[in-house]
């Protein structure tokens, strides 16, 4: 039993319950609750002519049916635009239930509440909705063409023109020794957590209070949204995120319509109501991400050094913009990566389409940004006949250039200033780890086996831990138990373990005594949420500060008791003692009792404490001015700006030139997230991210047809990888501490997914000699590409065909 656990691969405390079936996920709550189900639009764009519920009314077990007509007050208003931005000139959001028009397949039209989900679905089947279909817009190209519009009052389908620029890019391009331009596409994927969304609401009519459980990434914000929309006082609403079966971004959006409608029904009906999203609902009504069209023009000298970069991007934001233009901003600001770009301009047109809304999915615009920048590097190398690693090396920001100001404005409204990093180190470790210099030999060996082999790499810089803040509360109880809470939520990242490691180390207590709670507004009311790789950076540091506050107070009280100077004291194994004299000290639990002048001898701790209780100074109040009873402390961490993690991936693929199946034979990752709280957990995050990167590059896509119908709305045709499709990953770490926060940490949650599409596209291009300009790519697409006489070939393009 040690208390020095920071940085150790401590086994996860969550796993005890999660491996024995004792987790508590949303649908595990409230077996007696009524069940909600939704009638959702089968059309991508239509006017609702009539909703006929007649045939549904005699279904036994039906409790209530709600349509837009039943919404009152603020519930009848459009859903909020969470993150307004001056460049989001035409924000549009939907309603909790469709108000006259549906703009994507799956948009909720009616909510049914019944005694169980089976019956609720029976009722949905009997509700007849008559639609008058309208022209449909699918894909950025159709959106730009604007032959049809998603919103009548947005004739060009553009919700925002986002611009970031650091100088006169056109002049710089005119003056460049070399330039090249290209266009490429990325398709849609989605977070697709194994647990869908879900909401359970219980109204206490006597107490006039509402308790809501939601499978969310932002319980405090859901709480505020419910209070506002249902016009309740904030103190009457509590929201709890129970165990959450994965989020990856889709559960950060709030309020989802169901998060308002289910509590509304619970209040109206005076009964518990629960909605558990099923898989079909998740495909057609939860958020997607990634589709962009990118036009890149780059200027570079004869050595391959970039002199100017101009990126014009069209971003598909789906039918509504509740989450603003966060993804366009991130793509525009993260595109420059680890490189020196003397003059840069990014223009992102955020386009409306008649598809599910687009909000952050792990990586949030970064995979697309990395794809743009890294494929640019590949093309420069191809044009100049240089090694792709060498071209990158020549453009890297040098270690002595930090802090490095990219002169861009990040998602948090703060400047993009890289706080620290060692990109040379990354690249050196990566080329060694993957064996970059041995690729030629591997290629020859593969060709002798009748297979094509290629290698690719991609580097990234990831802004993590954006503010504005997170808070932490640490309290020592008379029992010796240490309660820790923070407002942001957990979806499997291991916060209970990582935060306990921080407190055990900071406070010098056994980790077994530490109990961590996240995402429960009853315990901590102020929080932002879990997204943008920010939990460890934000709550980790806040909790560390809170623990230090408790430590300081414990030492102060102990100093009195032990009649010693606080600076001579230490905490070891939960006991405060004079440095180097074990056995002479006072347990923290005793100090916890002493910290409260009101001390009934309810328990042993209190009885023990009395022996330490001095007479006190009768001339002073029992609780000193500025002090407070209890051995606890609340603190907040609020950074001036984000901290920038970095990494580099390399991949080697083998391709069967007969079936054009693509196999990843090696995947190497070098990762730098500053100080690691728990390397085991960090590696787990990398493994998971890489799997999603591979999925997004080779298997997953949301296949909408021109009519706005999602053609693969099931796990049969949306090809989330099984173990058989995910390669082994070799990982090396580099630790460049962040100077911005007390713990020196940077975010690690999203990194693994970012370079996958870029690196894999590069490797396939290297193996086939055909330009890969649209991702993801499947064997049939690769076959068609190889067959296409007009397909662009790379300089070393062999055009091998069998």
Partner 1 sequence: MKPAPFRYADPGTLDEALAVLSHEGAGAKVLAGGQSLLPLLSMRLAAPTTLVDINRVPGLDTVEATGDGVRVGALVRHNALLRDVAAARVQPLLARATANVAHPAIRNRGTTVGSIAHADPSGEMTSVLALTDGSVTVATPSGTSDVGWRDLFVGPLETSLHGPAVVTSAFFPALPARSGTAFAEVARRKGDYAVCGAAVVLTLDDSRRVSSVRAAYLSVGLVPEVHDLTDAVAGKPVDSADWAAAGALARGLVEPDSDLHASADYRRHLVGVLTERTLAAAAAEAGTRR
Partner 2 sequence: MNLDGGAVLHADPEKVWSVITDPAVLARTIPGCESLEQVGDDSYKMQVSVGVGAIRGSYAGEVRLSDKEHPTSYVMHASGAGAPGNVRATVTIGLAPTGEGTALTYSADAVVGGPVAGVGQRMMTGVAKRMAGQFFKAIDDELTGAVVRIAAAPSAEVRGVETAPAEAPRVFAGNAAAQPSLSPDVQTVLLGVGIGGLLTALGVALGYLLGRRR
Partner 3 sequence: MSVDLERTVSITVNGVPREATVPVRRLLSDALRHDLGLTGTHVGCEHGVCGACTVLVDGEPMRSCLLLAVQVDGRSVTTVEGLARDDGRGGQLLHPVQEAFRECHALQCGFCTPGFLTTIAAGLDARDNSVDITDDEVDELVGGNLCRCTGYANIKKAVRHAAATMKDPR
Residue 554, φ and ψ in degrees, nearest 5: -60, -45
219/285 with CB nearer partner 1: 285
Q: Which does 284 bind (CB under 5 to 8 A by kind): partner 1, partner 3, partner 2, none?
A: partner 2
The answer, yes or no, to whether the previous bond of 194 is cis (omega within 30 of 0) is: no
Shortest separation between residue 42's beta carbon and partner 2, angstroms: 4
Closest CA to 419 of 466, 377, 459, 374: 466
CA dihedral over 610, 613, 618, 619, signed as positive or negative: negative
* DSSP-assigned letters across all residues of 387-435: -HHHHHHHHBPPGGG-SEEEEEE-TTSSEEEE----HHHHHHHHHHHHT
121/156 with CB nearer partner 1: 121
66/283 with CB nearer partner 3: 283
Residue 338, φ and ψ in degrees, nearest 5: -85, 20
264/713 with CB nearer partner 2: 713
Shortest separation between residue 707's beta carbon and partner 1, angstroms: 15
Shortest separation between residue 722's beta carbon and partner 1, angstroms: 5
Shortest separation between residue 710's beta carbon and partner 2, angstroms: 6
Residue 468 neighbours by CB under 8 Å, 6+ apart: 412, 528, 638
Q: Which does 353 bind (CB under 5 to 8 A by kind): partner 1, partner 3, partner 2, none?
A: none
716/801 with CB nearer partner 2: 716
Start-end of H helices in 108-256:
117-126, 140-145, 169-174, 219-229
Shortest separation between residue 361's beta carbon and partner 1, angstroms: 20
Shortest separation between residue 282's beta carbon and partner 2, angstroms: 11
Q: Which does 704 bind (CB under 5 to 8 A by kind): partner 3, partner 2, partner 1, none?
A: none
Q: What SS3 state is found at 351?
A: strand
Shortest separation between residue 755's beta carbon and partner 1, angstroms: 23
Q: Which does 710 bind (CB under 5 to 8 A by kind): partner 2, partner 1, partner 3, none?
A: partner 2
Q: Which does 27 bind (CB under 5 to 8 A by kind): partner 2, partner 1, partner 3, none?
A: partner 3
286/536 with CB nearer partner 2: 286
Using a 10 angstrom Cβ sphere, with 0-12 exposed, 13-18 middle and 19 or more buried, the burial of residue 291 is: buried
SS (H, E, C) 300-343: ECCCCCEEEEEEEEEEECCCCCCCCCHHHHHHHHHCCCCECCCC
Q: Which does 105 bind (CB under 5 to 8 A by kind): partner 2, partner 1, partner 3, none?
A: partner 2
Q: Which does 707 bind (CB under 5 to 8 A by kind): partner 3, partner 1, partner 2, none?
A: partner 2
Q: Which does 22 bind (CB under 5 to 8 A by kind): partner 1, partner 3, partner 2, none?
A: partner 3
Q: Look-up: residue for tokens 């890297």?
A: 396
Q: Which does 43 bind (CB under 5 to 8 A by kind): partner 2, partner 1, partner 3, none?
A: partner 2
Residue numbers of the site for partner 2 (CB under 8 A)?
42-43, 105, 125, 133, 280, 283-284, 705, 707, 709-714, 716-717
Closest CA to 534 of 490, 578, 591: 490
Q: What SS3 state is found at 438?
A: helix
Shortest separation between residue 142's beta carbon and partner 1, angstroms: 19
Closest CA to 704 of 364, 405, 354, 466: 354
245/454 with CB nearer partner 3: 245
1/723 with CB nearer partner 3: 723
Q: Which does 784 bind (CB under 5 to 8 A by kind): partner 3, partner 1, partner 2, none?
A: partner 1
Shortest separation between residue 709's beta carbon and partner 2, angstroms: 4
Shortest separation between residue 39's beta carbon and partner 2, angstroms: 11
285/493 with CB nearer partner 2: 285
Residue numbers of the site for partner 1 (CB under 8 A)?
117-118, 121-122, 125, 278-280, 658-661, 699, 703, 711-712, 716-717, 719, 721-722, 724-725, 778-780, 783-784, 787
Largest CA distance in the chain: 96
Q: Which does 787 bind (CB under 5 to 8 A by kind): partner 1, partner 3, partner 2, none?
A: partner 1
Q: Which does 709 bind (CB under 5 to 8 A by kind): partner 3, partner 1, partner 2, none?
A: partner 2
* DSSP-assigned letters across all residues of 275-298: EE--HHHHHHHS-BB--EEEEEEE
* DSSP-assigned letters across all residues of 547-559: HHHHHHHHHHHHH
Q: Which does 529 bind (CB under 5 to 8 A by kind): partner 2, partner 1, partner 3, none?
A: none
Q: What SS3 state is found at 49?
A: strand
60/152 with CB nearer partner 1: 60
303/788 with CB nearer partner 1: 788
743/775 with CB nearer partner 1: 775
| C-alpha R_g of the chain | 28
Assess contact for 597 and 609: CB atoms under 8 A: no
Shortest separation between residue 273's beta carbon and partner 1, angstroms: 17
Q: Which does 42 bind (CB under 5 to 8 A by kind): partner 3, partner 2, partner 1, none?
A: partner 2
The answer, yes or no, to whether the previous bond of 166 is cis (omega within 30 of 0) is: no
* DSSP-assigned letters across all residues of 510-545: -GGGEEEEESBTTT------S-TT-HHHHHHHHHHH
Q: Which residues in 376-400 are b (16+ Cβ under 10 Å) and which e? A: bbbbbbbbbebebbebbebbbbeee
Show the tokens assigned to 523. 């315990």
The CB density around residue 601, as the number of other CB atoms within 10 Å, is 12
Angle at 466 between CA 463 and CA 469, to 5 degrees: 160
25/699 with CB nearer partner 1: 699
263/752 with CB nearer partner 3: 752
Shortest separation between residue 714's beta carbon and partner 2, angstroms: 5
Shortest separation between residue 667's beta carbon and partner 3, angstroms: 10
Residue numbers of the site for partner 3 (CB under 8 A)?
11-12, 14-16, 18-25, 27-28, 31, 116, 118, 192-195, 243-246, 248, 278-279, 491-494, 680-681, 683-684, 687-692, 714-716, 720, 722-724, 726, 728-729, 752
CA 715 to chain centre: 22
Tell me the C-alpha distance between 135 and 672, whole Å: 48
Shortest separation between residue 491's beta carbon and partner 3, angstroms: 6
Tell me the C-alpha distance between 432 and 441, whole Å: 15
């Amino acid at each position: 039993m040690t208390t020095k656990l920071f940085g150790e691969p401590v086994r996860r405390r969550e796993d005890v319950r999660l491996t024995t079936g004792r987790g508590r996920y949303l649908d595990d709550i409230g077996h007696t609750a009524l069940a909600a189900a939704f009638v959702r639009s089968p059309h991508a764009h239509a006017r609702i002519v009539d909703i006929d519920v007649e045939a549904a009314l005699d279904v036994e077990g039906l409790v209530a049916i709600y349509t837009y007509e039943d919404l009152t007050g603020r519930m009848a208003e459009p859903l909020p635009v969470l993150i307004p931005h001056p460049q989001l000139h035409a924000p549009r959001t939907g309603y909790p239930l469709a108000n006259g028009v549906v703009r994507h397949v799956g948009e909720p039209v009616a909510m049914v509440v019944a005694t169980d989900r089976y019956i609720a679905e029976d009722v949905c089947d009997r509700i007849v909705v008559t639609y008058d279909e309208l022209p449909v817009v699918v894909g950025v190209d159709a959106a730009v063409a604007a032959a049809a519009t998603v919103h009548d009052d947005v004739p060009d389908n553009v919700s925002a023109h986002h611009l970031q620029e650091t100088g006169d890019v056109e002049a710089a391009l005119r003056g460049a020794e070399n330039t090249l331009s290209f266009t490429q596409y990325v398709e849609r994927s989605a977070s697709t957590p194994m647990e869908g969304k879900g909401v359970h609401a219980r109204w206490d009519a006597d107490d006039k209070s509402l308790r809501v459980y939601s499978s969310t990434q932002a319980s405090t914000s859901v709480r505020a949204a419910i209070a506002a929309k249902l016009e309740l006082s904030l103190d009457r609403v509590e929201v709890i995120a129970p165990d959450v079966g994965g989020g990856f971004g889709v559960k950060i959006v709030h309020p989802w319509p169901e998060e308002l409608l289910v509590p509304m029904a619970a209040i109206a009906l005076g009964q518990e109501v629960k909605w558990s999203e099923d898989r079909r609902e998740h495909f057609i009504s939860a958020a997607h991400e990634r589709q962009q069209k990118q036009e890149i023009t780059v200027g570079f000298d004869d050595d391959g050094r970039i002199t100017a970069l101009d990126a014009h991007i069209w971003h598909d934001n789906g039918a509504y913009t509740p989450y603003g233009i966060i993804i366009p901003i991130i793509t525009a600001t993260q595109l420059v990566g680890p490189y020196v770009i003397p003059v840069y301009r990014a223009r992102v047109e955020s386009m409306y389409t008649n598809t599910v809304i687009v909000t952050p999915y792990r990586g949030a615009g970064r995979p697309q940004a990395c794809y743009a920048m890294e494929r640019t590097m590949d093309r420069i190398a191809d044009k100049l006949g240089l090694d792709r690693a060498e071209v990158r090396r020549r453009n890297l920001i040098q270690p002595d250039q930090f802090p490095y100001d990219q002169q861009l404005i990040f998602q948090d409204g703060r400047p993009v200033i890289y706080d620290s990093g060692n990109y040379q180190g990354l690249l050196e470790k990566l080329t060694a780890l993957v064996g970059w210099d041995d690729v030629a030999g591997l290629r020859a060996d593969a060709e002798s086996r009748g297979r094509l082999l290629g290698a690719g790499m991609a580097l990234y810089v990831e802004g993590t831990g954006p503010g504005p803040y997170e808070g932490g509360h640490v309290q020592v109880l008379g029992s010796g138990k240490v309660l820790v809470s923070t407002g942001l939520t957990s979806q499997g990242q291991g916060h209970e373990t990582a935060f306990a490691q921080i407190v055990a180390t900071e406070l010098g207590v056994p980790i077994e005594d530490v109990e961590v709670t996240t995402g429960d507004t009853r315990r901590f009311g102020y929080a932002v949420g879990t997204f943008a790789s920010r939990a460890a950076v934000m709550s980790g540091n806040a909790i560390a500060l809170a623990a230090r506050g408790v430590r300081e107070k414990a030492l102060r009280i102990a100093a009195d008791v032990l009649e010693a100077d606080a600076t001579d004291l230490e905490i070891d194994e939960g006991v405060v003692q004079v440095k180097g004299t074990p056995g002479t000290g006072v347990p923290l639990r005793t100090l916890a009792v002493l910290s409260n002048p009101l001390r009934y001898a309810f328990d042993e701790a209190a009885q023990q404490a009395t022996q330490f209780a001095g007479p006190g100074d009768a001339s002073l109040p029992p609780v000193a001015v500025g002090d407070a009873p209890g051995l606890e402390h609340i603190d907040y961490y609020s950074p001036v700006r984000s901290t920038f993690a970095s990494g580099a991936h390399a991949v080697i693929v083998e391709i069967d030139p007969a079936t054009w199946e693509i196999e990843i034979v090696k995947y190497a990752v070098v990762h730098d997230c500053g100080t690691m709280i728990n390397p085991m957990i960090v590696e787990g995050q990398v493994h998971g991210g890489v799997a999603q990167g591979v999925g997004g590059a080779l298997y997953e896509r949301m296949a909408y047809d021109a009519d706005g119908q999602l053609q693969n709305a099931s796990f049969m045709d949306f090809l989330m990888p099984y173990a058989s499709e995910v390669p082994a990953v070799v990982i090396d770490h580099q630790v460049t501490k962040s100077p911005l926060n007390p713990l020196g940490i940077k975010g690690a949650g999203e990194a693994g997914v970012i370079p996958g599409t870029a690196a894999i596209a590069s490797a396939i291009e290297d193996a086939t000699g055909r330009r890969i300009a649209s991702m993801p790519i499947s064997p049939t697409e690769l076959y068609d590409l190889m067959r296409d006489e007009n397909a662009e070939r790379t300089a070393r393009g062999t055009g091998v065909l069998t």
